[in-house]
Amino acid sequence: MPRRSQADAAKTKQSIVARAVDLASVEGLEGLTIGRLATDLEMSKAGVLGHFGTKEELQLAALNGAAAIYRREIWERAHAVPAGQKRLLAIADAWLDYLGRDVFPGGCFVTAASCEFDDRPGRVRDAVVAMHQLWTDVLAREAKQAIKDGDLPRGTDPYDIAFGLNAIAMGVNQARHLMHNDDAPARGWRAMRTILAAPRARRKYLN
């Protein structure tokens, strides 16, 4: 295939994935249809399907696309901060900023996919589980460093910290999109700082 055709094909695939991510954040990964994507992107169904082969591959591509955005919005904004409590606080700020800005039209894609596939076996569920486990391990690693540094109490289970932070984030997402509670990110910020044994200064939850 000529280089230009390869570039065009890659660009088209990126456009399909981007639209699939937006649609799935609102309608769920199971709500993705080849027909809807073809109509939205003014393509043929065969043209859309040709890039993925199956609906499951499309779902996995959408999940990976959403994970890349999640990583960019949260981890990449915090990873340069020193490890331990400071990095966890930077993660908390970026995480709540991401939730507060509704980066995805339907709220947190990861939370939605977790609820949608929690009892549905298959490759998509396996991918969601792997993504959650990776993020949990990242948070626990930072918590372990914070405990070692004396910024969190000795005897604290690092995975308790990871669990608590993730539970707060999921609660913030639900409060915003189910209850239309605009105060949820600020409440989440205070709750995360309590878990991380950090002062709750009188300022917005973001810098």
Average pLDDT of the residues of the chain? 91
CATH of the domain at 183: 1.10.357.10
Return the SS3 of 58. Answer: helix
Q: Is residue 128 part of a domain?
A: yes
Q: Is residue 137 part of a domain?
A: yes
Q: Is residue 98 part of a domain?
A: yes
Q: Is residue 150 part of a domain?
A: yes
| Residue-wise pLDDT tens digits, 45-98 | 898 888 988 999 999 999 999 999 999 999 999 999 999 999 999 999 999 999
| Residue-wise pLDDT tens digits, 178-194 | 999 999 999 999 999 99
What number is the average pLDDT over the span 19-30?
91
Global pTM reads 0.88
Q: Is residue 10 part of a domain?
A: no
Instruction: Quote the CA–CA distance of 175 and 108 in Å, as a whole number.
Output: 12
Contact 96, 171 (CB under 8 A): no
Longest dimension (CA), the chain: 60
Q: Is residue 45 part of a domain?
A: no
Q: Is residue 2 part of a domain?
A: no
Residue 6 neighbours by CB under 8 Å, 6+ apart: none
Contact 96, 172 (CB under 8 A): yes
Q: Is residue 3 part of a domain?
A: no
Contact 200, 103 (CB under 8 A): no
